[in-house]
Structure 1
Amino acid sequence: MLCLFCAIARAQVPTENSLLWEITGPGLSKPSYLFGTIHLICPTDFSLSDSLKSTLSRTQQVALEMDMDDPGMMAGMMKTMNMAAGNELKKLVTEQEYQRLDRFFKDSVHVGLAMFERAKPFVLMGPLFSSVLDCQPESYEMRLVEMAGKQKSEVIGIETLEEQMAIFDTIPYKDQAKMLLTLIDSLPSARKEFKTLVALYKAQNINELYRMTLKSEFGMEGNEEVMLFARNRKWVPRIGRIATEKPTFFAVGAAHLGGEKGVIALLRKEGYRVRAMK
């Protein structure tokens, strides 16, 4: 029975290299679609296929991880970005480490750490990505919001901003600060890793992308359950409910798609047919 269970679990794992998937099955009168994004990427590596544009035009709404079209998003971010219980970055690192971080932010982001003193350290990773990418990055999510607006499709979120920001209260703040220091101290390694991730993304190899993301020392290692697996389990029933209401174009980080605990495998376990598209 155990061997049979393992075989069934493996059978649900996607084997095709694709970022775009069609969802059909129980309760769905029309297909919905699932697309794997990479949240930030250099413009030279950014592309939207004709197939993606075509499937988007056949849907009535776009569902991102969060509602990026919400006019209250910035105000919500300001309310949820700070650490709990009056924590401050200076309490999480040594004075020397703090000075190193402050100097790096001033040199790279042109802003000192004072305005981010109480922010969850993971929030500070965002501004540093320009240093890792060495370019002014493009966003798939924002481009999809733009395209949805042109075809008058509603943009919604699979989870709320509050839910996403609460994740960073479950990971010890000191661990987050350590990841921040690791990133600025290992920029050549970070650039090399991200270059490999981009190559896998462009090759649409979601399983290898998933495996490499789990091993990354710049954020995921040791945090797989809260950042990937638990969210995938939470998302699947929501995806099913949203797709039942109207044909939807879902777009989530590509690392959420692959593996036995990924969104595709979980949707298949619920009886949905999830088919790779080119």
Structure 2
Amino acid sequence: MLRALVLLVFSLLALAHAPAAEARCNGSDMRSAMSAPQRTALQRAAAAVPFGSGNHWIARKGDRQINVIGTMHVNDPRFGAVVRRLAPVITSADLVLFEVTRKQARAFWDNLDASSANLFLIGTGPTLDKLLPAEAWDTLWKKARNAGIAPSTAKRIKPWFLTFYLADENCSPRGLFAANGLDRRIEKLARRSRVPIGSLETVSEAILPLSRRPIRDQLRMMEFDTGSTARNETLFVTMRETYFEEASAEGDILEQRQFLSALQGPRGEAERLWRNYRDDLLNTRNRAWLPRILGAPGQRIVVTVGAAHLPGETGVLRLLERAGYRLERAAF
């Protein structure tokens, strides 16, 4: 969850979050500790996921071609070579679509008003200091204070958003270019090449499913995300490496296993929270994007979205296939 929430905030809100002091990343790829049979079982499970591998696919229907590129929203030095390889695809496109363009994200964040406050703040009902047991609230407000947030403010911030400030891991890139992920690099190339660009959603549309979840569910998710720095670092490294191996389904399976095994409480509740989280972050948005992709002008379209949106029965690729497109994996 931490990985996805942090990447969502980087991508959509363009937050000016002060970098933490540099610390060593102690995360490792979870697969490196697996036995050969465990690794084989993981690969077999991932192979059963529709479009479970590949970061670049071409969808064709008649004379229309849609290149779908799975991205990461944070920086990695390997992206330089990726952009060079993808440059001919980008510069020859009639239109490049992003989840949200950088200009639109900045405009949203720079012009927040009262109508947007309910996305981030608890407007009515009990605040976090009343919802949490005394010991849990004591721990939370101290973490918030260390992050520069006054307890009087922290108790009113919705947990999905507060998680961004309180969850610890030292593996995400920091500094001026931290958010210079593949999507932003592609956007810069498209702008320089004067290729038209557009957004698949507004910032409000992207975060509304997360924001409207019951506060108690959000608190349970935050409990996982803020529970272990070591686990968060391991998840980040694992998801990053599965991405560059173009094995997104493996990363998704491992993230789910980690969540279900680590969250305390009944297994059924953990499974419900996971399903809702996936719906909020991926499935609801994928379905909303499809008509916008299909209705976009031009014969050669490029769609760049987070790699987690590609695989699965409700992934962007399967939705395009059901809309009559033929899919072919392409070089990344």
The residue that corresponds to 2:29 in the other structure is none
Q: Give the 3-state SS of the residue equivalent to 1:221 in structure 2.
A: helix
Quote the residue 2:281 is aligned against: 227
Pairwise CA RMSD: 3.1
Distance in 2 between the 1:119 and 1:148 partners? 36
Sort the Cα spacing of 1:138 and 1:165 in 2 relative to 1 into closer, same or farther, 3 A: closer
Residue aligning to 1:268 = 321
Cα distance in 1, alignment partners of residues 187 and 287 from structure 2: 25
Q: Give CA deviations for 1:230-260 in whole Å, capped at 9, x if unaligned.
A: 3222222221111x44533211111111122
Q: TM-score normalized by structure 2?
A: 0.68
Does structure 2 conserve the Cα–Cα contact (< 8 Å) formed by 1:65 and 1:157? Answer: yes
- TM-superposed CA distance for 1:216, in Å, is 5.3
Paired AA for residue 73 in structure 1: F
Contact 1:84/1:169 (<8 A) preserved:
no
1:167 — aligned with what? Answer: 209
Q: Do the aligned partners of 1:62 and 1:153 also contact (CA within 8 Å) in 2?
A: yes
Q: Which residue of 2 aligns with 1:125?
A: 163
Q: Is 1:14 paired with 2:51?
A: yes
Q: Does 1:91 align with 2:127?
A: no
Structure 2: distance between partners of 1:198 and 1:160: 26
Change (3 A) 1:72 1:259: same
CA distance in 1, matches of 2:111, 2:242: 33
* In structure 2, C-alpha distance between the alignment counterparts of 1:116 and 1:152, rounded to whole Å: 43
How far apart are residue 100 of structure 1 and its match?
2.0
Residue 97 of structure 2 is aligned to residue 73 of structure 1: no
In 2, distance between residues paired with 1:128 and 1:163?
24
Task: Indicate how the Cα distance of structure 1 residues 130 and 94 shifts in structure 2: closer, same or farther if over 3 A, else same.
Answer: closer
Q: How does 1:41-60 map to 2 (within 5 A)?
A: 41=75, 43-44=76-77, 46-49=79-82, 50-60=84-94
Does the CA contact (< 8 Å) of 1:46 and 1:138 recur in 2? no
Partner Cα distance (1:130, 1:76) in 2: 28
Contact 2:71 2:306 (8 Å CA) reproduced: yes
Task: Give the letter aligned to residue 19 of structure 1.
Answer: N
Indicate the larger mover: 124-133 or 221-230: 124-133
The one-letter code of the counterpart of 1:276 is: R
Question: Does residue 261 of structure 2 align to residue 207 of structure 1?
Answer: no
In structure 2, the residue matched to 1:187 is 229
State whether residues 12 and 268 of structure 1, in contact with CA within 8 Å, keep that contact through their aligned partners in structure 2.
no
**Where in structure 1 are there 5+ consecutive unaligned residues?**
1-9
Q: Tell me which residue corresponds to 1:102.
A: 141
CA-to-aligned-CA distance 1:99-119 (integer Å, 9 cap, x gap): 323333444x44445445433
Instruction: State the secondary structure of the residue aligned to 1:152.
Output: coil
Asked if structure 2 preserves the Cα contact closer than 8 Å seen for 1:12 and 1:265, the reply is no
What does residue 120 of structure 2 align with?
Answer: 82
Within 2, Cα distance between the matches of 1:12 and 1:268? 14
The number of residue pairs the alignment matches comes to: 263
For the Cα contact (< 8 Å) 1:35–1:250, is it kept in 2? yes
Q: Distance in 1 between matches of 2:166 and 2:251?
A: 21
Amino acid at match of 2:142: R
User: Is 1:152 matched with 2:186?
Assistant: no
Per the normalisation by structure 1, the TM-score is 0.79
Residue 24 (structure 1) aligned with residue 60 (structure 2): yes
Instruction: Please list the CA deviations of residues 12-50 of structure 1 after superposition, one character each: whole Å capped at 9, or x if unmatched.
Output: 9226x321122321462xx33211122335x35654512
Distance 1:12 1:46, change over 3 A: closer
Identity of aligned residues (%): 21
Letter of the structure 1 residue corresponding to residue 108 of structure 2:
M
Distance 1:114 1:132 in 2: 27
SS in 1 for 2:103: coil
Query: In the alignment, what sits opposite 1:4?
Result: none
Q: Who is 2:12 aligned against? A: none
Structure 1 position 129, deviation (Å): 6.3
